[in-house]
């Protein structure tokens, strides 16, 4: 593959942008190479500035569930942009989007639009504190909920590829009310509630963790969280920035049959445009200004172009439920194919997957929490990533991220991906 233009762009970017990128994982540091710069995308493919074409399993980190530049979404964006990019005022599109989300997700009675998943989770926890009159929150080690100060404690995703898991600049006083439990360990949750009686406002969790690689909840875990929060008078907050509308129209909560008090959503509800939302029980959401005393605002919240894209994408998914079956089927072919290769080639790796998302961990042990995920061989992942990239397969440039399959992926793309993976496994000495 050619990379002269990407290299030149990165050299220039490093002089004027911190680390040369506007989000850390884009720097490709954990895969030991310079990043590729993307120029365009279509369907299941992305094309970089050097003209290299890749099968894309990142999909802008999930929202491209229909594939890149889906015509229905693209046309909605063009029409909305023609009417104006931003008004800083109420629009009909905001009402339509809120109504659509409420119709699709049973736990939602009211919704507030924001601009990102980070804003959604930050705002949801502020509301939880305002509603309960309590200060402390519980999160899980390895679950990433955006970069707000209080949540940069034992975070996942790109933080796991750095030498320091938490962020400089986060004061001890800001983080002191954040308690950390072990994912899939109800006892760790119960102990925190026991030692902080009447002080915990909310527990926030990715119902399927996807920022330490994909880690599934064990049987009874999510139900146990629901029961504990109800018993303790704390709010259960589901961070569905990745799983929302990806694992089904009802998200992970619909799939597992758990009803959280508050839910957070991200870029998938904007078809990939900058957008987020949080919503839940009416009595909780009525705490939000101007209805209640919990302040949260944003000039671009409910941006008309982003709303148009989201309405188009979610409406298309609702009108074509067979797409979820197709995406899940393609995910099954990809991830079961990888699992079969791991077994046949005796490769020290495990596959975690659900629906259209999954991860290949370079470790022989099952992965159900952060400690187990951190045993993965990140150097081997870097070798695997670079080999696949050279073969035209674009995956997450970090071990602790998810792969996403879209409606645009066909058996041809999956077959090419598995062929490249087998070739890599063969370099490890497998039979």
Q: Is the pLDDT of residue 163 over 80?
A: no
DSSP states along 18-55: GGGSSSGGGG-GGGTSPPPPEEEEEBTEEEETT--EEE
pLDDT, residue 161, reads 35
Given a cut of 60, whether residue 431 has pLDDT beyond it is no
Residue 63 in contact with residue 267, Cβ under 8 Å?
A: yes
- The HSE-up count of residue 263 (CA atoms within 13 Å, CB side) is 30
Nearest to 177 by CA among 150, 204, 195: 150
Give residue 159's pLDDT band: very low, low, confident or very high (50, 70, 90): very low
Active site residue 144: yes
Least trusted range by pLDDT, from 147-161, 184-198, 318-332, 385-399:
147-161
Nearest to 99 by CA among 374, 248, 307: 307
Q: What is the pLDDT of residues 286-304, one digit of tens each?
A: 999 999 999 999 999 999 9
Question: Confidence band (pLDDT; 50, 70, 90) for 418?
Answer: very high
Taking 70 as the threshold, does the pLDDT of residue 165 lie above it?
Answer: no
Domains recognised in the chain with CATH numbers: 4-69+321-427 (3.90.1150.10), 71-319 (3.40.640.10)
Report the pLDDT value the prediction gives residue 95, as an integer from 0 to 100: 98
Confidence of residue 339 (pLDDT cuts 50, 70, 90): very high
On average, the pLDDT of the chain sits at: 94
Q: What pLDDT does 164 receive?
A: 34
Query: Which residue reads 């062929």 in tokens?
Result: 419
HSE-CB of 192 using CA atoms within 13 angstroms? 24
- Listed in sequence order, the residues at least 6 apart from 81 whose beta carbon sits closer than 8 Å to its beta carbon are 305
The predicted structure's pLDDT at residue 154? 56
What pLDDT shows up at residue 160? 39
Judged by average pLDDT, the poorest of 86-100, 153-167, 201-215 is 153-167
Catalytic residue among 136, 139, 154, 267: 267
Q: Report pLDDT for 168.
A: 75
* Alpha carbons 286 and 251: distance in angstroms, whole number: 23
Q: What does the pLDDT look like over 22-78, one tens digit per residue?
A: 999 999 999 999 999 999 999 999 999 999 999 999 999 999 999 999 999 999 999
- Percent of all residues in the chain with a pLDDT value above 70, rounded to a whole number: 95
User: What is the pLDDT, as a whole number, of residue 35?
Assistant: 96
Average pLDDT over residues 70-96: 97
**Residue 162 pLDDT more than 50?**
no
Residue pLDDT, tens place only, 249-289: 999 999 999 999 999 999 999 999 999 999 999 999 999 99
Q: What is the per-residue pLDDT for 175?
A: 75
Predicted pLDDT at 148: 75
pLDDT band at 167 (very low <50, low <70, confident <90, very high): low
Q: In what order do the strands lie in the sheet with 350-354?
A: 350-354, 357-361, 403-404
pLDDT tens for each residue of 377-393? 999 999 999 999 999 99
The catalytic position among 144, 183, 324, 381 is: 144
377 in catalytic set: no
Average pLDDT over residues 105-119: 96
Is residue 199 among the annotated active site residues?
A: no
C-alpha 263/C-alpha 277 separation (Å) is 8
pLDDT level of residue 150 (50, 70, 90 thresholds): confident
Catalytic residue among 3, 48, 56, 239: 239
pLDDT at position 242 = 96
Q: Find out whether 268 and 245 touch, Cβ atoms under 8 Å.
A: yes
Strand order in the sheet with 262-265: 110-114, 276-280, 262-265, 235-239, 200-205, 136-140, 178-181
Chain segment 322-335, per-residue pLDDT in tens: 999 999 999 999 99
Greater confidence (74 vs 159) lies with: 74
Residue 84 has pLDDT above 70, yes or no: yes
């Amino acid at each position: 593959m050619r990379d002269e233009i990407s290299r030149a762009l990165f050299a220039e970017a490093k002089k004027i942008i911190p680390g040369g990128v506007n989000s850390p994982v884009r720097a490709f540091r954990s895969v030991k190479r310079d990043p590729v710069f993307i120029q365009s995308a279509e369907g299941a493919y992305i094309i970089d500035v050097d003209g290299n074409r890749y099968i894309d399993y990142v999909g802008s980190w999930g929202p491209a569930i229909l594939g890149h530049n889906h015509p229905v979404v693209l046309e909605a964006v063009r029409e909305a942009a023609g009417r104006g990019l931003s008004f800083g005022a109420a629009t009909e599109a905001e009402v339509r989007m809120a109504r659509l989300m409420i119709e699709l997700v049973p736990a939602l009675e009211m919704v507030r639009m924001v601009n990102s998943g980070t804003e959604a989770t930050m705002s949801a926890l502020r509301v939880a504190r305002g509603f309960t009159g309590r200060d402390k929150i519980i999160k899980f080690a390895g679950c990433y909920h955006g970069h707000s100060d209080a949540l940069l404690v034992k975070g996942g995703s790109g933080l796991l590829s750095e030498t320091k898991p938490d962020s400089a600049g986060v004061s001890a006083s800001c983080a002191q009310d954040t308690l950390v439990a072990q994912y899939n360990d109800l006892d760790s949750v119960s102990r925190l509630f026991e030692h902080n009686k009447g002080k915990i406002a909310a527990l926030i969790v990715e119902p399927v963790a996807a920022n330490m690689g994909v880690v599934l909840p064990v049987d009874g875990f999510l139900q146990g969280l629901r029961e504990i929060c109800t018993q303790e008078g704390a709010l259960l907050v589901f961070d569905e920035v990745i799983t929302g509308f990806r694992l089904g129209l009802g998200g992970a909560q619909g799939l597992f049959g758990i009803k959280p008090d508050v839910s957070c959503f991200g870029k998938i509800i904007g078809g990939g445009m900058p957008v987020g939302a949080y919503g839940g029980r009416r009595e909780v959401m009525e705490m939000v200004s101007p209805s209640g005393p919990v302040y949260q605002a944003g000039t671009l919240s409910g941006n008309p172009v982003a709303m148009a894209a989201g309405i188009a994408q979610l409406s298309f998914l609702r009108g074509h439920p067979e797409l979820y079956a197709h995406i899940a089927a393609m995910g099954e072919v990809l991830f079961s194919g990888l699992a079969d290769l791991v077994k046949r080639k005796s490769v020290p790796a495990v596959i975690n997957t659900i629906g259209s998302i999954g991860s290949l961990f370079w470790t022989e042990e099952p992965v159900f929490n952060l400690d187990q995920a951190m045993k993965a061989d990140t150097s081997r992942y870097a070798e695997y990533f670079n080999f696949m990239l050279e073969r035209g397969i674009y995956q997450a440039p970090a071990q602790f991220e998810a792969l996403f399959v879209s409606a645009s992926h066909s058996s041809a793309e999956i077959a090419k991906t598995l062929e490249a993976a087998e070739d890599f496994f063969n370099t490890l000495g497998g039979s």
